[in-house]
Amino acid sequence: MAHIWDMVTVLKPSELKADTGAVLDAAIDKPQYVSRKGVLLVITKAELTAPDEILSPWEQRAKVIDSFYDPNKAW
């Protein structure tokens, strides 16, 4: 069984700072990981709510959180 850390690259903050544009462009296609002060941060694309939909703040929050969930990547 492959370990998750064998499949992803974890950047240092200095790498993120040096190549911010490239990291953000890469995050459009797949999540980017940055480790800072012992915390793993994930930079990924989130789907925003269409402007013609009127949703409560709770519904907007739920839709954004749902956009991060990919059942193919579930543990």
Report which of 63, 23, 73 is spatially closest to residue 43, judged by C-alpha positions. Answer: 23
- Render each residue's pLDDT in the chain as its tens digit; 75 residues: 445 556 677 778 888 788 888 888 888 888 888 888 888 888 888 877 666 667 788 888 887 788 777 665 554
pLDDT at 1: 45
Report which of 11, 71, 2, 75 is spatially closest to residue 43, judged by C-alpha positions. Answer: 11
What is the pTM assigned to this prediction? 0.52
3-state secondary structure of 42: strand
How far is residue 55's CA from residue 27's CA, in Å, rounded to a whole number?
27
Going from N- to C-terminal start, the domains of the chain cover 1-44, 47-75
Domain 1-44 has CATH 3.40.1620: yes
